[in-house]
Amino acid sequence: MKKEITLAIIKPNATEKKATGKIIDMILEAGFEIKAMKMLHLTKKEAEGFYEVHKDKPFFNDLTDFMSSGPIVVMALEKENAVEDYRKLIGATNPAEAAEGTVRKLFGENIERNAVHGSDSPENGIKEVGYFFSNLEFVN
C-alpha cells in the first residue's frame, strides 16, 4: 500500500493539560513517522484560514477563537493508510462518542475542545500540511 501524509494538530486544550508528550508517544507507538513538526500560537486570522471550509458553519467563530487561544503542535505524519489509521487512533470527533483508548476519549472534553485534529482525506492531508509547512521543514 502507498504511503500517505496526514496533518495532525494537538489543540490548545491538550497542550494546556500537558498531554503533548503522551499524544506524540501514542502517534509514534502506532507506527507513524513524524516528517515535520512545530509549535505555534495561531492568530485568529490564521485559524480562520486553516478552517476556511467550515466558514459557514455555526461553530466557526467559537472554533477559531479556541484554536487561537493557546499553543498548538502541528505535525506532518507519514504511514501507509495514514489518514484512516490516524482517524482510528484519535477516535470520533465528539469525545463522548470516541472509542475507549483513543486520543479524543482520553484527552478531549467536548466536540470543540476535542484535543486533536486529523485530515479527512489524502487530498486534504497534502493541502493541510502545505498550510503549515514549507518543503525546507520536512525531514527526508
Catalytic residue among 4, 76, 117, 118: 117
Q: Which is nearer to ligand CMP, 52 or 139 (CB)?
A: 52
Task: Copy the grid coordinates of residue 2.
Answer: 502507498
Residues of the shown chain interacting with ligand CMP in the complex, contacts defined by CB under 6 A: 54, 59, 63, 93, 111-112, 114, 117
Q: Smallest distance, Å, CB 67 to ligand CMP?
A: 8
Q: Does 117 participate in catalysis according to the annotation?
A: yes
Q: Which is nearer to ligand CMP, 41 or 139 (CB)?
A: 41
Catalytic residues: 117
